Amino acid sequence: RIAYLAGVAPESRETVCDRLAWYVLAHGQKGIPLRNEYIITTLTEAYRRAPSQADGLPTHLHSTIHRLLSLGVTALLCEHDQLAFEAALACRELGIAVPGRLSICGFDNSEWAHMLPEQITTIEQDMEQVGAQAAALLLGGASRQPFEAAQLVIPTRFIPGGTTGSAPEQETNAEGVNDP
């Protein structure tokens, strides 16, 4: 029961589109039903910090986390580490145990992943390799006409932190059936 959180629509940024595509693909490969209400792509930076109704009330991010928990979500996969950091802080403010009640994972292994004592679990991209490959493509393509499109896959690395753990036990309803 993993939700995907992003601050922009997938079609507006290719990296967000790719990350969402892999989220969807992983669900399919594991035979996990995909729930549209678990995919949130409206958490822009300004919107995350704006009160949902009036000053002093929870932000949209707080409300989103509450709504996802009510749907049975046990983990958040965030578009980037800053959003993961903000989600972890919101959980602290709400009294939600991370990772006991909700696991959080970011992406990029940026400075945001290291701003909490427990460090945020993240996915690291080898940005040096990305830059080197991009430069090689540009330099190699400058002499060719017409330019041929190329797609390269640069490996990523999982960096475990203190914001992920085992999923909480599923609660059972009155009939003794696990809630989804």
- pLDDT tens-digit profile of 22-47? 899 999 999 999 999 999 988 776 66
Question: Residue 99 contacts by C-beta under 8 Å, 6 or more apart in sequence?
Answer: 162, 163, 164, 165, 166
- Of 50-59, 111-120, 143-152, 159-168, which gets the smallest average pLDDT? 50-59
Cα separations in angstroms, 20 against 93, 94, 141, 142:
27, 27, 30, 32
Position 159 scores a pLDDT of: 94
* pLDDT higher than threshold 90 for residue 143: no
Poorest-pLDDT segment among 36-45, 103-112, 117-126, 143-152: 143-152
> Mean pLDDT score of the chain, rounded to an integer?
82
- pLDDT tens-digit readout, 150-170: 677 888 899 999 999 988 876
Least confident of 9-13, 37-41, 51-55, 147-151: 51-55
Structure-model confidence comparison of residues 12 and 171, the more confident one? 12
Name residue 77's beta-bridge partners. Answer: 4, 105
pLDDT at residue 115, as a whole number: 93
Q: Enter the pTM of the model.
A: 0.79
- Residue 91: how many CB atoms within 10 A of its CB? 22
The dihedral sign for the CA sequence 156, 161, 164, 165:
positive
Query: What is the spatial distance between Cα 97 and Cα 76, in angstroms, rounded to a whole number?
Result: 13
User: Which pLDDT score, from 0 to 100, does residue 180 have?
Assistant: 44
